[in-house]
Amino acid sequence: MRGKRKVDEKAGALWRMPAWPAAVVALLASLVVVSSPASAADLPYGPYTCASGYVWREAYSGDQVCVTPAIRTQTATENALGPSRREPNGGPYGPDTCKQGYVWRETRPSDRVCVPPASRDQAYSDNSSAALRLADPGATPHGGVSVSTSLNQLGGRIFANGSGLTPNGTVRFFAVGIGTTGPYGLGTLTADASGNLPGWQYVADVWCRSYQTGPATIVVLDVKTGLVTTAGTTTAFLHCG
């Protein structure tokens, strides 16, 4: 799919209420959530709809990491030139050994398209920013990681465990739906050699926000693949004392 991915704005419904007592009206007003996360059905291209100005990279079938249009064009060119940049008779890294001056692109571990080193750096940078470039990262499906929260007087402490991650890969955590302009960065963990986060590993301490009206969604980014998923919710941001 080409062109910019845009989010349809969902207008809130206007309720016509009878003349209820002022105390009841005030109570209802206090329960209103100013903005609610979009669901995948609200997004024109599904849960991985890109924010305005970004498009899917399409380095391989199913690659939905959001990049600039220029990088998608560059990626298509690299795919076309890749075979000519391999050693025709293979080499120390097998049949996909690159010619001198080229390296594997590694948009995911199995991506062995030969590119200049700057393109591999670009792929890593784009993967690392994947959660920040989605129209609503909180609308992505639940992945193999789950979170739990230990509440305290100031907010809470978030822990994670799970599987299905890139072995030995970096895993970044974000919170969405806490009134910020974008995903709020939490902690970073490293998956083990089997792609697991064993036990309940500490992610971050978070503090309550007086304006918070509902749970925050925790988003997980597998940096080596750029895959963004959700891991559940936390009430730590609204737990004030």
Domain segments of the chain: what residues? 55-130, 140-238
What's the CA gap between 161 and 182, in Å, rounded? Answer: 24
Distance CA 95, CA 231 (A): 38
Per-residue pLDDT band at 40 (split at 50, 70, 90): low
DSSP 130: G
Compute φ and ψ for 142, nearest 5 degrees: -70, 130
Write the class of the CATH domain 140-238.
Answer: mainly beta
**How many of the other CB atoms lie within 10 Å of CB of 176?**
21
As a whole number of angstroms, the distance between CA 56 and CA 73 comes to 10
| Rounded Cα–Cα distance for residues 204 and 142 (Å) | 20
pLDDT at 58: 98
Amino acid at 172: R
Mean of pLDDT values over 8-20 = 33
Q: Give the model's pLDDT for residue 179.
A: 80
At 101, is the pLDDT very low, low, confident or very high (cuts 50, 70, 90)?
very high
Looking at residue 12, its pLDDT comes to: 32
Beta bridge partners of 162: 145, 197
pLDDT digits (tens, 9 = 90+) for 111-151: 999 999 999 999 999 999 999 999 999 999 999 999 999 99
Q: Which residue has the higher pLDDT, 10 or 112?
A: 112
Whole-Å CA distances, 197 to 12, 13, 204? 39, 42, 15
